[in-house]
Amino acid sequence: MAAASDEGMSPHPATGHLPGTALAMVGIDKHFGEVLANASVDFSARWGEVHALLGENGAGKSTLMSILAGLYRPDNGQLLVDGQPVVLHSPKDAIKHGIGMVYQHYRLVPSQTVTENMLLGLPGAPLRLDTRRAARDIEELSERYQLRVDPYRPVWQLSVGEQQRVEILKALHRGARILILDEPTAVLTPQEADALMRTIRHIASEGRTVIFISHKLEEVRSVADRVTVLRAGRLVGSGLDMAEMSARDLARLMVGTDLPGRIRPRPRASGAPRLTLRRLCALDDRGLQALRSVDLTIHAGEIVGVAGVAGNGQRELAQVLTGMRKPASGQVFLDDIDVTGAGARQMALAGVAHIPEDRLGEGLVGNLPLLDSALMKSYYQPPISSGPFLNLKSAVQFTRGLIARFNVAGATPRTIARLLSGGQLQRFLLAREMSMQPRAIVAVHPTRGLDVAATHTVQEWLMSCSGEGCALLLISEDLDELLQLSDRVAVLYEGSIVAAVDREEADRERIGLMMIGSYQPDQVAV
């Protein structure tokens, strides 16, 4: 292992680091009760490289990186930074050693502004904070790395994609020398993802280390120098040269077998109109217009994908259709029933299921047992309840049925939700929503952060629901997913649907340009 005292090496001009080993994790073990998360894992990364860390959901990637970020303590093993042993008692200790992590589920304070979140817990911060100067620093940093955010907006008003940018900027603002990115491109357009890949390469060229966790294998191959693969908490590939690995090689290491083939397109749906939007307008949390006269019809058995850069009205569209936000004007019809302005409970009773983008913030209750999340939409219905009284035996039985039906691994009704991996959480959320036998589903980023096998499973379930006559509105920034699953793709830009393109006429590059407002109307098939 190359240490910081290697002779004959010159420090990098930007960081002062030598081009040796940035960090090493040796013999890492970590248990959560009886669950083994990491078993004798060795991991190392060099200064100036992008190192990919791959594995299925629940393989132990986030646990291993959370140990490196100071959030967890290992049961056994040793950590070295710059060749020196370190003990990290908290994320504050990790920051002191130049280690920053951007988690898949963001760690921001919703009521505070972007600038205030940047300053929160900043080492060496003065008693009196200069927020204006900090805002200017953030603007300069966001411009430098092409991660634009408004430093004065509160986080609760930001989309998930915008919150992700804040987290990345927060780590860079704190001078992270070792930057851990967990699914950083999950909500980006192809153009934005390409730009972030250039940013990641730029960060590495400055002499820093980037550890890149992603389930998009071709994306990983395009940016990473080396790759380490975990399976069921154990090391199955360490420091492999990415130039020698194909996407199939990586997938086989991750899951231990070849992956199933791509989902085949279905025959085009021809059912009656199921979900109809007429001149729908809605305001965002700041009182500004988020949806502008949206007209859209989704037929029974049809999948309509909604493409758009984060922050162009997708959040408000999903909230209006699921009763979480009142429209400013316009109408919403479910079959031939006017449900405009109905609340969330009324929309659920009418048969509208919701798979939200924030599965822990909106879909499930992270700090409570799965039993509580299972009953969120059925606690008032028999046999789970009898009048004002809850039938605990029926409630537990119902929760066990959801777990068994969708094979939620390692879960019981008493399992705390946040302890499950992203893939298992999504399985449970889908199980609850599909138990409603919905007539329409509003699915927002349903495969975000899932591994390739879990993504395939979720997509098959959604296709199955559509095949049974359910109307599906699929909101995603993953164009490949939209083009693979959708009968039509509607592009949402600045709150308006600028085009609705049939699957046979959809072009990935053209739709990507439409998503950022760079297209000529006469070039688009509508």
Is pLDDT of 57 > 80? Answer: no
Across the range 367-392, mean pLDDT stands at 90
The fraction of the chain above a pLDDT of 70, given in percent, is: 89
Is pLDDT of 7 > 70? Answer: no
Coil, helix or strand at residue 127: coil
Is pLDDT of 188 > 80? Answer: no
Q: Among candidates 520, 486, 522, 492, which has minimal Cα distance to 506?
A: 486
State the virtual CA torsion across 132, 138, 140, 142 in degrees, nearest 10.
-150
The pLDDT assigned to 268 comes to 66
**Looking up tokens 């959560």, which residue turns up?**
32
Lowest model confidence (mean pLDDT) among 7-11, 208-212, 469-473:
7-11
Is pLDDT of 6 > 50? Answer: no
The pLDDT assigned to 251 comes to 83
Secondary structure of 214-272 as H, E, C letters: CCCHHHHHHHCCEEEEEECCEEEEEEEEHHHCCHHHHHHHHHCCCCCCCCCCCCCCCCC
pLDDT tier for residue 4 given thresholds of 50, 70 and 90: very low
- Percentages helix, strand, coil for the chain, rounded to the nearest 5? 35, 25, 40
CB 262 within 8 A of CB 480: no
Average pLDDT of the chain? 85
pLDDT tier for residue 499 given thresholds of 50, 70 and 90: confident
Lowest model confidence (mean pLDDT) among 27-41, 117-131, 468-482, 502-516:
117-131
The pLDDT assigned to 335 comes to 94
pLDDT tier for residue 218 given thresholds of 50, 70 and 90: confident
Q: Does pTM surpass 0.75?
A: no
CA distance 459 to 456: 5
CATH architecture of 260-351+438-526: 3-Layer(aba) Sandwich (3.40)
β-strand pairing of 488-493 with 496-502: antiparallel
Residues pairing with 50 in the sheet:
210
pLDDT digits (tens, 9 = 90+) for 227-258: 999 998 999 999 999 999 988 888 888 877 76
Extents of the domains making up the chain:
21-255, 260-351+438-526, 360-436
The pLDDT assigned to 100 comes to 92
Tokens at 408, concatenated? 């939620």
Intrachain domains 21-255 and 260-351+438-526 with the same fold: yes
Lowest model confidence (mean pLDDT) among 25-39, 110-124, 323-337, 351-365:
110-124
Homologous superfamily of 21-255: P-loop containing nucleotide triphosphate hydrolases (3.40.50.300)
pLDDT tier for residue 3 given thresholds of 50, 70 and 90: very low
CA distance 88 to 378: 44
